[in-house]
Structure 1
Amino acid sequence: MTEAERERPVRSPCVSICALDEQDLCLGCQRTASEISRWGRMSNDERRQVLAQLAERARAQGLMQ
């Protein structure tokens, strides 16, 4: 088993506020519908990339500084 296979899965950013806005972004976690549906099949590296994008989206919307 490789180190990547032993690594714990990166946790979902879901905060149980599941509603998509006009831009197809979840109001709770800032993921797109596609990202939400693919999350379970993503590698940890892909999940980390999405998490980085979520932070940028939240900043762009004024939700984070």
Structure 2
Amino acid sequence: MAIITFTLPVAIESPCVGVCALEAARSRCTGCGRTTDEIARWTSGTPEWRRAVMAELPARLAADQSLARDCK
């Protein structure tokens, strides 16, 4: 009898909120705030890099909301 071992993928923390809408002017997702490059690299990036990106996202999203209010 052969024993087959499977390795389950490790869950990767993501800031994705399921609102994948890319804003062309900034090449950023309006849902999570990541750039298209960051989204593309997300699964291959190191945990440290992902944490650094995630730390920047609240300020990016807040700045976007402030800009949207100013444009009204």
- Coarse TM-score class (shorter-chain normalised): 0.7 to 0.9
Q: Which amino acid aligns with 2:42?
A: W
Show CA shifts across 1:11-61 (max 9, x none). Answer: 111111111112111011100000000000111110011001111101212
Alpha-carbon RMSD: 1.7
Q: Could you list the runs of 4 or more consecutive aligned residues of structure 1 that deviate by over 4 angstroms after TM superposition? A: none
Matches of 1:55 and 1:12 in 2, distance apart? Answer: 13
* Structure (1 or 2) with the greater strand fraction: 2
Tell me the distance in 2 between the aligned counterparts of 1:35 and 1:55: 15
The number of equivalent residue pairs is 56
> Relative CO higher for 1 or 2, CA cutoff 8 Å, sep ≥ 6?
1
Gaps of 5+ in 2: 1-9, 67-72
Give the structure with the higher percent helix.
1
1:33 aligns with 2:33: no
Deviation at 1:9, TM superposition (A): 5.4
- Matching residue's letter, 1:16: G
Aligned to 2:22: 20
The CA distance in 1 between the partners of 2:64 and 2:47, in whole Å, is 26
TM-score normalised by length of structure 1: 0.74
| Percentage identity across paired residues of the two chains | 41
- How much has 1:62 moved relative to structure 2? 2.9
